[in-house]
Structure 1
Amino acid sequence: MTIHIDLQIETVNQQLPSIEELTLWANKAHQSKECEADVTVRIVDIEESAELNQTYRGKEGPTNVLSFPFEAPPGIDINLLGDLPLGDLVVCAPVVEREAAEQNKELIAHWAHMVVHGVLHLQGYDHIKDEEALVMERLETEIIMELDFPAPYQDQDLS
């Protein structure tokens, strides 16, 4: 089954992936293939990213991607919602561009990594603990390489 993307663009940046690319990357990262899912992808500038990062994570400044998994309000039967709302991703275009340049990565490859990373977060993957980080990074790398991009983490060996 597939993820359907609701795309919101709130940035002046012009070098953005297409909705087709975002959909492809999100679907590659979708681990529950038996159900349809909806994801909102909001592409923002520095100010909105920084505000959301401060509000929801207590951290100053913008960040590359924020993930907000869907939580059904009490008393709502998610089986009645149709497609399962997976959650929202907020991607800061200027941060993604800056990181790609700093890490000598192709911009499109870094965009793909941020979407895959965010969709995995929406599904409960995390990287706070070392063991969780290893699992998540390994999965990210497998997905990114299946998409024909280079491994997203330097010096990563999947053998």
Structure 2
Amino acid sequence: MIQLDLINEDNLPVPDADQFQNWLNQIAKKLNISGEVCIKIVDKTESRDLNSTYRQKDKPTNVLSFPSEIPDFVDSNHLGDLAICAPVVEEEALEQNKSINNHWAHLTIHGCLHLLGYDHIEDTEAEAMEALEIELLAELGIENPYI
């Protein structure tokens, strides 16, 4: 099981904590892992600031992943942190004609897989990561987000 710490200081419209927990549990079950994940819901300004600082891209983005960098000698099961931009998630879902809730699920799973070391820089890595996302989402009754 993945323990969730959900932070939504601005009370932006997002799925409830139980939904986020369900999506994280799906990953934990499929990959047989446990740990803690903090998800902070951010606005466009904070997303742009984080994206600029950590990725040198001066624009807001849907999800940013910050894998835990705790030294091995420290006993911790913190997997890392996600910053998810609520306005960008909503805009993308509308532009792509997707259910907003399904897009939230996809980006939560996508971000969490980054925390676990999955990436999509190389084509083969991208194919493996996308296939896992599609499988996890299908098990939740959500269509392939890449079509």
TM-score range, shorter chain: over 0.9
Asked whether 1:117 is paired with 2:110, we answer yes
* Alignment match, 1:147: 140
Asked whether 1:6 is paired with 2:10, we answer no
Contact 1:117 1:140 in 2 (8 A): yes
How far apart, in 1, do the equivalents of 2:11 and 2:43 lie? Answer: 7
How far apart, in 2, do the equivalents of 1:94 and 1:72 lie? Answer: 31
TM-score by length of 1: 0.87
How far apart, in 2, do the equivalents of 1:10 and 1:120 lie? Answer: 24
Aligned residues between the structures: 146
Q: Secondary structure at the match of 1:137?
A: helix
Residue among 52, 55, 59 paired with 2:53: 55
- Alignment root-mean-square deviation, CA: 1.3
Contact 1:12 1:45 in 2 (8 A): no
Q: Which one has a bigger Cα radius of gyration?
A: 1
* Alignment match, 1:65: 63
Q: Secondary structure at the match of 1:24?
A: helix
Contact 2:138 2:144 in 1 (8 A): yes
Which amino acid in structure 2 is aligned with residue 114 of structure 1?
L
Deviations 1:19-48 (A, max 9, x none): 111011112123542x53000000010000
How far apart, in 2, do the equivalents of 1:43 and 1:52 lie? Answer: 12
Which consecutive residues of structure 1, in runs of 5 or more, have no partner in the other structure?
155-159
Residue among 74, 77, 80 paired with 2:73: 77
Contact 1:64 1:93 in 2 (8 A): yes
Deviations 1:54-103 (A, max 9, x none): 00001111000000000114xx623x33xx10000000000000000000
Deviations 1:106-139 (A, max 9, x none): 0000000000001100000000111111000010
Structure 1 runs of 4+ with >3 Å offset: none
Contact 1:11 1:93 in 2 (8 A): no
Following superposition, the deviation at residue 11 of structure 1 comes to: 3.4
Which amino acid in structure 2 is aligned with residue 105 of structure 1?
K
Asked whether 1:89 is paired with 2:82, we answer yes
Contact 2:12 2:41 in 1 (8 A): no
Which consecutive residues of structure 2, in runs of 5 or more, have no partner in the other structure?
none
Identity value in percent: 49
TM-score by length of 2: 0.94
